[in-house]
């Protein structure tokens, strides 16, 4: 078998927290990995942990020399870097969000098809056993026809980012919806089997990245409400109601869901699995990607699968309005 040479572009916190442990566990699936970062010292530090690793400062020096590229870079770079690697014949695993617009996503998907390679995306929560069980229960009609889906997620933002792109208004006007929402709205589209029609998007932005947002939408008579915050803790729960029952659960309790038949007794469904910490869900995604590069399997989460959520997020930003905040309206700055 030809040597499997891949690169990991972007050596910040996500690379250290998620991909370094996964690459260690999956060492039999790759022959060489090149760590790439504009901060060469950071790339060299990560490479030093592996006997078959190198470091580089400019990803462009690797175009055409690797079979696969893992992109863990700021959101705005997902589209251009993916296209460059795909057009050069390399498979790509892109961090979420896949892209900032549906047009960008379409270009990336087209580039993969034209190059005869694949484009995967790390929408990690599709690997949660609980979320997969919700998908199965809805598809099998366990609650009848869904009539409402509510999803509330909030925590104080504490991600130790190596760069300020998450919150710096000079870098982006998009915040929690493009970040956490890339997971959440993908989950909504995946569970319901399509893209809901947007009804309303409200947030707290005054032109910079929003920290709180509410999305209301509907698909096939199922009303959807999503509320996200990175300012404070919320209940962190989801609930899907249908005409024959309810599915509910804690977002980060991925080993169980509760099914309540209409008029019946709640039943906890315990789910098996070996994962004990969130970063461990990246290992099967990366393992799948490395096998894709080796020609052994198709992508677990292909880019086309998350395209609906990219389009929905784009629509939200185009239509967003600020929450009523009368205490701010007459401030003089």
pLDDT digits (tens, 9 = 90+) for 188-235: 999 999 999 999 999 999 888 999 999 999 999 999 999 999 999 999
pLDDT average, residue stretch 104-110: 98
Tell me the CA distances in angstroms from 301 to 70, 124, 234, one per residue in order: 14, 9, 28
Q: DSSP letters of 183-225?
A: HHHHHHHHHHTSPPEEEEEEE--SSS--SEEEEEEEETTEEEE
Q: Is residue 159 predicted with pLDDT exceeding 80?
A: no
CA distances in angstroms from 272 to 23, 135, 190, 255, listed in the order given? 24, 16, 22, 6
Taken in order 290, 113, 107, 320, the sign of the CA dihedral is negative
H or E segment and range at residue 69? strand 68-71
Model confidence at 332, in pLDDT bands (50, 70, 90)? low
Any long-range contacts for 288-292 (C-beta under 8 Å, 24+ apart)? 288/120, 289/68, 289/70, 289/91, 289/93, 289/120, 290/4, 290/6, 290/26, 290/29, 290/30, 290/68, 291/29, 292/68, 292/91, 292/118, 292/120
Q: Convert the pLDDT of each residue in 33-80 to its tens digit.
A: 999 999 999 999 999 999 999 999 999 999 999 999 999 999 999 999
Domain boundaries, the chain: 5-125+280-301, 126-274+311-325
What pLDDT score does 12 carry?
93
Residue 333's pLDDT is what?
53
> 3-class SS at 160?
coil
Among 1, 12, 16, smallest CA distance to 38 is for 12
Report pLDDT for 162.
67
Residue 31, pLDDT score: 97
Instruction: With beta carbons less than 8 A apart as the criterion, state whether 13 and 160 touch.
Output: yes
Second-level CATH architecture of 5-125+280-301 = 3-Layer(aba) Sandwich (3.40)
Q: pLDDT for 272-321, tens place per residue?
A: 888 889 999 999 999 999 999 999 999 999 999 999 999 999 999 999 99
- DSSP string covering 12-54: SHHIIIIIHHHHHHTGGG-SEEEEE-SSHHHHHHHHTT-TTEE
Q: pLDDT at residue 172 above 90? A: no
Q: Kindly state the tokens that stand for 292.
A: 């894709």
Q: What is the pLDDT of residues 1-42, one digit of tens each?
A: 568 999 999 999 999 999 999 999 999 999 999 999 999 999
Q: Which residue has the higher pLDDT, 325 or 38?
A: 38
Q: CA–CA separation, 298 vs 302, rounded Å?
A: 8
Give domain 126-274+311-325's CATH superfamily. Answer: Dihydrodipicolinate Reductase; domain 2 (3.30.360.10)
Separation in Å, CA 35 to CA 72, 197, 211: 11, 41, 32
What pLDDT sits at residue 183? Answer: 98
Mean predicted confidence (pLDDT) in 241-263: 97
Residue 161 pLDDT > 80: no
In the structure, what pLDDT confidence band is assigned to residue 157 with cuts at 50, 70 and 90? confident
């Amino acid at each position: 078998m030809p040597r499997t040479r891949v690169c990991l572009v972007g050596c910040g916190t996500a690379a250290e927290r998620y991909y370094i442990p996964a690459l260690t566990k999956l060492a039999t699936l790759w022959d060489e990995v090149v760590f790439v970062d504009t901060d060469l010292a950071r790339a060299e530090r990560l490479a030093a942990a592996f006997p078959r690793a190198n470091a580089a400062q400019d990803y462009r020096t690797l175009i055409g020399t690797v079979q696969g590229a893992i992109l863990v870079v700021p959101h705005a770079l997902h589209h251009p870097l993916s296209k460059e690697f795909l057009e050069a014949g390399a498979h790509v695993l892109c961090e979420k969000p896949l892209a900032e617009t549906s047009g960008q996503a379409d270009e990336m998907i087209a580039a993969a098809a034209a190059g005869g390679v694949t484009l995967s995306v790390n929408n990690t929560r599709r690997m949660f056993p609980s979320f997969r069980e919700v998908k199965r229960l809805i598809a099998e009609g366990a609650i009848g026809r869904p009539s409402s889906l509510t999803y509330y997620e909030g925590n104080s933002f504490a991600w130790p980012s190596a760069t300020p792109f998450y919150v710096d208004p000079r870098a982006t006007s998009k915040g929690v919806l493009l970040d956490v929402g890339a997971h959440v709205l993908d989950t909504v589209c995946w569970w319901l089997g399509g893209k809901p029609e947007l009804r309303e998007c409200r947030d707290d932005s005054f032109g910079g990245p929003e920290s709180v947002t509410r999305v209301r939408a509907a698909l096939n008579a199922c009303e959807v409400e999503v509320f996200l915050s990175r300012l404070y803790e919320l209940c962190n729960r989801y609930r899907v109601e249908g005409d024959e029952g309810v599915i509910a659960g804690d977002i980060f309790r991925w080993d169980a869901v509760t099914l309540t038949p209409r008029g019946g007794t709640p039943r906890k469904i315990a789910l098996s699995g070996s994962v004990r910490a969130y970063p461990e869900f990246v290992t099967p995604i990366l393992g799948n990607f490395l096998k894709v590069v080796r020609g052994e399997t198709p992508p677990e989460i292909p880019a086309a699968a998350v395209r609906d959520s990219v389009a929905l997020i784009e629509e939200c930003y185009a239509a967003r309005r600020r929450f009523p905040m009368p205490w701010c309206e007459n401030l003089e700055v």
